[in-house]
Every structure is written in structure tokens, then in C-alpha cells.
Structure 1
Amino acid sequence: MADAQVTCITKPNVNSSHEHITHLGNPVSQWRWTREQVIASIDAGTNTFYVLDPVSGARANIGVVRETGRMPYLRTYADGQWNNNLLSLNQCPI
């Protein structure tokens, strides 16, 4: 199983703080996957994904959230709580 750091995201509307994420990636490691690919990989136990807090360096793992009536989506999980560290990442280069 690979452990992959996510350093950027892609959203349809760059300025929206609540817009859904379409892609996650890491330009230094030269990868960019769709949200669906990341969800499938987490579900299969093939890879783990995480972000690092730029100030503290603390790791926040990325997990799949499933709510009734909604499509699955990705969020970070740290210190026993779900949070939205992903939305604060820079936009991935195209």
C-alpha cells in the first residue's frame, strides 16, 4: 500500500470555499487523480492519502464520507474529528 501526500486540489470554481473537489494531486510526485479514483483506492485499501498542516506539520488522513442521499466525498480526519483541510489546499496546475 502506498502512502500519498496530497498537496493540491482541483475545483470547478476556484473561489468557492464549498465547491466539490474533482481532482487531488501532488505535482512534485507527478500524480493527479480524480476524486472517484481516490475514493476507489481508499475503499480497496490500495493507498492511503493525507495532507500536512503547513504551520504545525501535523498529518491529517483523508477518508471517505458517506451521508444518506449524497454522493461519497473526501475529507481529512485528524485528532478524532472530520475537518476540511482539503479545501484550503492550492489549486493543482493543469
Structure 2
Amino acid sequence: MAERVQISCINKDDRYSPYERIQNIGGVHGGSRWRLSVSEAIKCIEQSKYSFYTKVNDHVRNVVIASRNGVKYLKTEADSDTPDNLLSLPECS
């Protein structure tokens, strides 16, 4: 069973495409800061190592893998087509 981990921050690059804009996701889990590249996070989800979620204003949203034009990216289940919920998280330090 996948370990459930909250994403509380992201790192963005300068691309304008919302599907390729997030480089890293991160947060605090088990008292330690963590950060993964999006490709690492996708691999962890596919291998059922981790399941990720966001929690904003007490709204919990599962993070899933989506694909557009053959490019895999992360988005929350609440998003219809764009990863806006993830893009609204603060930058990881």
C-alpha cells in the first residue's frame, strides 16, 4: 500500500505551459523536509510507493498523474484540466 504524503510546496521553472511548469514538489513528512522532481514523484506513484495529496483551506485533494500531448504531469483530482491547485502552492525553500 502506498504511503500517503502531503505536498505543501513546489518549485516552478520559467515555462509558460502549466503542464511542464512544475519542476519539484515537496513538503514535510515524518518531521523531515523532502523534495522530489516531478518525474521522480510520477515514478513513485506508478510504483505505488507514495500517494500524494494537497490540503488547502481544509480541502484535501488527491494528486494524480495526467498526460497531455504525451507528457506526464501531476494535477489534483479537483482540477478539470490544469494543475492550478498545485501551481498555487508556495515555493519550496
TM-score bracket for this pair, using the shorter chain length: 0.7 to 0.9
- Structure 2, unmatched stretches of 5+, are none
Q: What percent of counterpart residues are identical?
A: 30
Question: Where do residues 56-75 of structure 1 align in structure 2 (5 Å cutoff)?
Answer: 57-67=58-68, 69-75=69-75
> Displaced runs of 4+ in structure 1, greater than 6 A?
none
- Structure 1, unmatched stretches of 5+, are none
Per the normalisation by structure 2, the TM-score is: 0.80
TM-aligned CA deviation for residue 58 of structure 1: 1.5
TM-aligned CA deviation for residue 70 of structure 1: 3.0
- SS of the residue 1:49 aligns to: strand
TM-aligned CA deviation for residue 29 of structure 1: 3.4
Q: C-alpha distance in 2, partners of 1:32/1:58? A: 22
- Whichever residue aligns with residue 34 of structure 2, its letter is W
- Whichever residue aligns with residue 20 of structure 1, its letter is R
Tell me if the contact between 1:17 and 1:87 (Cα under 8 Å) persists in the aligned partners. no
Per the normalisation by structure 1, the TM-score is: 0.79
> How well do the aligned residues superpose, as a CA RMSD in angstroms?
2.4
Q: 1:82 to 1:5 in 2, by over 3 A?
A: farther
Instruction: Identify the structure with the greater strand proportion.
Output: 2
Specify the alignment match of 2:3 in structure 1.
2
Question: Where do residues 1-94 of structure 1 align in structure 2 (5 Å cutoff)?
Answer: 1-13=2-14, 18=18, 20-27=21-28, 29-54=32-57, 57-67=58-68, 69-78=69-78, 81=80, 84-93=84-93
